[in-house]
Every structure is written in structure tokens, then in C-alpha cells.
């Protein structure tokens, strides 16, 4: 895998070294899919965050990543829904904790939507 990524990175850098506004490059399907997801996200106005394996953020940064307020992040931390550690008097939240929270939140929403759909069916509330 590392060889493929290294080859793709080299190809991208060589293509970017050429003149002009457009580049043509051949990369692996996996790299192309990853690039497409990033371009799609940016086209929807979403923020893209690239971090190293054990990155941590402040509560304000976590709020921006989660799309909630900083006080809401503190509430999640106090409730144990979002892991953190203290660095002196400051809170640091691992990116992995944010990803785990998002996964949990998605599962909760899916479960709630399934329960709502089942209740609608039981009550005969169809559109």
C-alpha cells in the first residue's frame, strides 16, 4: 500500500511541477476515490481536516468540526460522550474521540428514524 501511495504522490508532484492551470496525472483508483471525496466535500462547503494519527484539538476546534457550539462540546465531555484529556488547565480532545462520537451519533439518529418509521406504520400514518 505504501508503495502505491508513494507512486501516486510522486506522480501528483511531477504533474504539479508542469506549467498551466490544468494537470493530467494517472493515480491508483484508491487515491482517485480519496481525492474525489475531498473535492466533493469542498464543493459542498465542508471543511477538510488532515491530521496525523494522534492529533488533538481544543474544545473550540472540536465544536467547529462537529458543527455545534463550544458549550455543547463541553456538555458532551461532561457526559462522557466525548473523550478528552487535560493539559495543565486546558482540555484536549483526540480526533479519534470526535470520529467515535460522530459514529455513535449517526447510529443514534438511524435508530431513532427506524423507531419513528415503525411507529408511523403501526399508527397507519402513511404519505
Tell me the average pLDDT across 54-60.
92
Q: In what order do the strands lie in the sheet with 90-94?
A: 56-57, 90-94, 85-87
With cut-offs at 50, 70 and 90, classify the pLDDT of residue 20: confident
Average pLDDT for 1-6: 82
Residue 126 neighbours by CB under 8 Å, 6+ apart: 120
Q: What is the pLDDT of residues 71-81, one digit of tens each?
A: 999 999 999 99
- Within the chain, strands assigned E span 56-57, 85-87, 90-94
HSE, side-chain direction, 13 A CA sphere, residue 86: 3
Q: What is the pTM of this model?
A: 0.61
SS3 91: strand
Of residues 4, 49, 65, the one with CA closest to residue 31: 4
Amino acid at each position: 500500500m505504501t508503495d502505491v501511495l508513494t507512486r501516486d504522490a510522486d506522480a501528483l508532484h511531477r504533474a504539479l511541477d508542469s506549467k498551466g492551470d490544468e494537470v493530467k496525472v494517472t493515480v491508483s483508483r484508491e487515491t482517485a476515490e480519496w481525492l474525489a471525496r475531498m473535492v466533493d466535500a469542498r464543493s459542498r462547503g465542508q471543511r477538510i481536516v488532515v491530521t496525523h494519527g494522534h492529533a488533538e484539538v481544543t474544545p473550540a476546534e472540536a465544536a467547529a468540526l462537529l458543527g455545534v457550539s463550544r458549550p455543547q462540546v463541553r456538555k458532551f465531555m461532561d457526559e462522557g460522550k466525548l473523550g478528552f484529556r487535560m493539559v495543565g488547565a486546558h482540555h484536549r480532545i483526540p480526533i479519534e474521540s470526535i470520529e467515535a462520537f460522530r459514529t455513535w451519533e449517526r447510529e443514534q439518529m438511524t435508530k431513532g428514524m427506524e423507531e419513528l418509521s415503525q411507529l408511523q406504520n403501526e399508527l397507519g400514518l402513511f404519505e
